[in-house]
Amino acid sequence: MRIATMATGGIGGFLAVRLAKAGHEVATIARGPHLRAIRDNGLTLDGPSGVEVVQPWIATDDPAEVGEVDAIIFGVKGDALEDAAKACQPMIGPNTVVVPFLNGVEAAARLLEILPEQNVANGMAQVSTTIASPGVIKQTGEFNVFIFAERDSRPSDRITALRKAINEAGSNAPETDDIERDVWSKFVLFSAVSGVTAAGRCTIQDIVNMPQLGELFRRVVTETAAIGRTMGVALGPDIEEKTWAIAKQLPPTMRASTAIDLEKGLPIEVEWISGAAARLAKKAGISAPANEALYAILLPHKDGNPQQSR
Ligand SMILES: NC(=O)C1=CN([C@@H]2O[C@H](COP(=O)(O)OP(=O)(O)OC[C@H]3O[C@@H](n4cnc5c(N)ncnc54)[C@H](OP(=O)(O)O)[C@@H]3O)[C@@H](O)[C@H]2O)C=CC1
Ligand SMILES: CC(C)(CO)C(=O)C(=O)O
């Protein structure tokens, strides 16, 4: 397949290495020192199963150099979505599928404001990866699951082809019969992991061990699940308990990317996580005080602290 990563950070870079290794033509869209390092030294994935290096089919900051592709792995931080969507237009043909893996529940709808309806799918990722240094993607832990589908979850050849490519490349892309439920299920978990580990400057272990943090976590989970249900998402009746059980199984020292970015003084995706929960709750006419409080606490740090991140 011809696949582009827009862009080539934690999500795009991980899949770019796996898919290029498996023989696909992968175009990596990147910029600045990261692009220069990919061009000079290849793209490296440093993970628990070792170090892999690939030379992408094309590495560029100009999607026009790539032309039409079969699929675009769409992974940028929430605030970069609109610019990235506009920039990737030259790679989109009538049957190109654009799969967003952003955290939150609004990426597909936001893409639809910019890209043709026929091109936009929906997805979510469970993996822990980051750009460790220019040209190098670091994976923490073994888990790497990518769930995606057409927005209405109907089967399609292009989704089947991309799933097959990702599965054959050694990652995990299971089928789903309801992508909206899956995106929301991750949001139920992530709104709590993100909000509490970032605002509490704490780990999963602290949440599990400290009753006060555990209580806050469970309140966020309950609120976010209620928002989803009010919006008509078919979340299971036991998602609250299941989410707490999942939290207890997460690596004890884990924190959300939001917490890690906050600590590094980088911009954080608060608007698309705690902020989205607060905003969607208001729209649905229900109250979400825990999400609102976490949003307010994190909001001053939304744009990061450039002095700290230097
Ligand atoms: N990484 C992970 O483990 C997971 C991430 N997610 C979600 O996936 C999304 C993507 O995360 P992740 O991949 O980690 O993010 P990263 O910050 O690692 O990567 C995003 C990359 O996109 C680049 N970029 C943004 N806009 C453009 C553009 N217009 N042209 C070229 N490059 C661009 C950024 O470059 P620059 O630095 O120059 O801006 C950066 O290199 C987020 O919503 C995240 O929450 C979800 C699950 C797991
Ligand atoms: C919690 C995790 C690592 C799960 O994929 C995540 O999505 C993030 O921190 O951004």
> pLDDT digit string (tens) for 240-282?
999 999 999 999 999 999 999 999 999 999 999 999 999 999 9
Q: Is residue 142 located within the same domain as residue 236? A: no
- Atom nearest to 255 CA in ligand 2: 9
pLDDT digits (tens, 9 = 90+) for 297-306: 999 999 999 7
Alpha-carbon distances, residue 267 vs 185, 259, 306 (angstroms): 25, 11, 9
Residue 136: CA atoms inside 13 Å, Cβ hemisphere, count? Answer: 8
Calculate how far, in angstroms, residue 77's C-alpha sits from the geometric centre of ligand 1. Answer: 5
- Per-residue pLDDT tens over the stretch 192-231: 999 999 999 999 999 999 999 999 999 999 999 999 999 9
**Structure confidence at residue 230 (pLDDT):** 98
d(Cα 15, Cα 131) in Å, to the nearest integer?
A: 13
Cα(142) to ligand 2 centroid in Å equals: 13
Whether residue 110 sits in one domain with residue 196? no
Considering 177, 193, 211, which residue would you say is the last residue of a domain?
177
CA–CA separation, 181 vs 32, rounded Å?
A: 37
Output the domain CATH number for residue 153.
Answer: 3.40.50.720
Verify that 128 and 227 share a domain, yes or no.
no
Q: Please say which residue of 131, 159, 177 terminates a domain.
A: 177
Band (27; pLDDT cuts 50, 70, 90): very high
Ligand 1 pocket, CB under 6 A: 7, 9-12, 29-32, 34, 61, 75-78, 80, 83-84, 87, 101-103, 125, 127-131, 257, 269
What total of structural domains would you count in the chain?
A: 2
Q: Are residues 48 and 145 in the same domain?
A: yes
Give every CB contact of residue 127 below 8 A, 6+ residues apart in sequence: 10, 11, 14, 139, 143, 144, 145, 146
The predicted model gives 17-30 an average pLDDT of 98
Mean pLDDT of 57-77: 98
Q: How far away, in angstroms, is 255 Cα from ligand 2 center? A: 8
Same domain for 154 and 249, yes or no, is no
Question: Would you state the pLDDT for residue 154?
Answer: 98
**Per-residue pLDDT tens over the stretch 143-162:** 999 999 999 999 999 999 99
Residues 285 and 164 in one domain: no
105 & 236 share domain: no
Please name the residue whose Cα sits nearest to atom 45 of ligand 1. 103
Among 88, 257, 274, say which to mutate for ligand 1: greatest number of ligand atoms within 8 Å of CB: 257
Instruction: Identify which of 11, 127, 262 to mutate to test ligand 2's pocket (most ligand atoms within 8 A of the CB).
Output: 127
The domain boundary, picked from 127, 160, 177, lies at 177
Ligand 1, pocket-test mutation among 14, 76, 110, 268, most atoms within 8 A of CB: 76
Is residue 87 over pLDDT 60?
A: yes
How does residue 309 score in pLDDT terms, banded at 50, 70 and 90? low
On the question of pLDDT at 310 being above 60, the answer is: no
Do residue 46 and residue 166 come from a single domain?
A: yes
Average pLDDT over residues 37-51: 97
Same domain, 155 and 292: no
Work out the mean pLDDT of the chain and round it to a whole number. 97
Q: Pick the closest to residue 289 from 219, 211, 189, 228 (CA basis).
A: 219
Mean pLDDT of 122-136: 97
CA dihedral 271, 190, 150, 156 (to 10 degrees): 150
Assign residue 257 the CATH number of its domain: 1.10.1040.10
State the SS3 of the chain.
CEEEEECCCHHHHHHHHHHHHCCCEEEEECCHHHHHHHHHHCEEEEECCEEEEECCCEEECCHHHCCCCCEEEECCCHHHHHHHHHHCHHHCCCCCEEEECCCCCCHHHHHHCCCCHHHEEEEEEEEEEEEEECCEEEEEEEEEEEEEEECCCCCCHHHHHHHHHHHHCCCECCCCCCHHHHHHHHHHHHHHHHHHHHHCCCCHHHHHHCHHHHHHHHHHHHHHHHHHHHCCCCCCCCHHHHHHHHHHHCCCCCCCHHHHHHHHCCCCCHHHCHHHHHHHHHHHCCCCHHHHHHHHHHHHHCCCCHHHHC
> How high is the pLDDT of residue 308?
78
Tell me how far the alpha carbon of residue 285 lies from the centroid of ligand 1, in angstroms.
Answer: 32
- 142 and 238 in one domain? no
Atom 47 (ligand 1) nearest CA: 125
Q: How far is the CA of 9 from the centre of ligand 1 (A)?
A: 5
The pLDDT, as a whole number, for residue 306 is: 79
ipTM above 0.90, yes or no: yes
143 with 274, same domain: the answer is no
Of the listed ranges 96-100, 132-136, 138-142, the least confidently predicted one is 138-142
Residue ranges making up the domain that contains 6? 2-177
Q: Using CA positions, which residue lies closest to atom 10 of ligand 2?
A: 257
Residue 55 burial (CB count, 10 A): 13
Q: How confident is the model at residue 4 (pLDDT cuts 50, 70, 90)?
A: very high
The verdict on 159 and 136 lying in the same domain is: yes
